[in-house]
Amino acid sequence: MQIREYGTTGPRIVLLHGGPGAAGYLAPVARELADAFRVSEPFQRRSGGEPLTVARHVADLQETIERFGDERPALVGHSWGAMLALAYAAAHPGRARSLVLVGCGTFDAVARARYGEIREARLTDDVRRRIDALPREVPDPDQRLRARGKLMMQLDSVDPVIGKGERVECDARAHDESWTDMVRLQDAGVYPAAFATIDAPVLMLHGADDPHPGPMIRASLAPHIRRLEYIEWPRCGHYPWLERHARSAFFAALREAITRQ
């Protein structure tokens, strides 16, 4: 597994990308934090000989964290990465100093359905046509996942400040296998109930315009996580570090949370 490192001093952060199967786009967050923190950005396991599962990703993350010895890092996860952070902290209580969930994904069928409704309502005719054309125009599934992500990012943002795009390494099979297993575990009642073992403080950072319904996700987690806080910003979508009206507040809250915790 590839791990990119940033910064040389300060508390340790492990930055977990979303997708699943979309590595590399969190580099701007890592670079922004590198002045005061040591940031590790692991690229999660790609698809291969056996189907990917949540347990496999958790084991990989444990292997990464063991490299730090007795040091307890803060886990900062975005979207699917936030869900992985929770799964890891539940399986390994005490190993994470704190968790920050940025634009966390859904943990029940009702919230998943609401997410789908919000996304569907935002689809313009142009974006819908372009998505429908992807299977013909982009035959490679990994490239198609990347292209779809770029299109959906328009719908998931409010007023993004887009600079030079980061290279995103997409793996469509890893995406499908990992997400299928997460939904299976939710349907079986494993998550979010398993999060009751988490003893670290957990902070949710969410945009009010994120199609992932923040208040519903918080409500599903609150009965199981004892130390849960929630911050939400208006005029902010799924990528707070890119949002013109929330970027400064997002990084201030993130820095304060990691330093305090």
Percent of the chain with pLDDT over 90: 96
- The rounded mean pLDDT for the chain is 96
Confidence of residue 260 (pLDDT cuts 50, 70, 90): confident
pLDDT (mean) for 87-111 = 97
Whether 217 shows a pLDDT value over 80: the answer reads yes
d(CA 145, CA 18): 13
Indicate whether 166 pLDDT > 90.
Answer: no
The whole-number average pLDDT for the span 168-188 is 97
What are 237-258's pLDDT values in tens digits? 999 999 999 999 999 999 999 9
Average pLDDT over residues 225-234: 98
Share of the chain above pLDDT 70, in %: 98
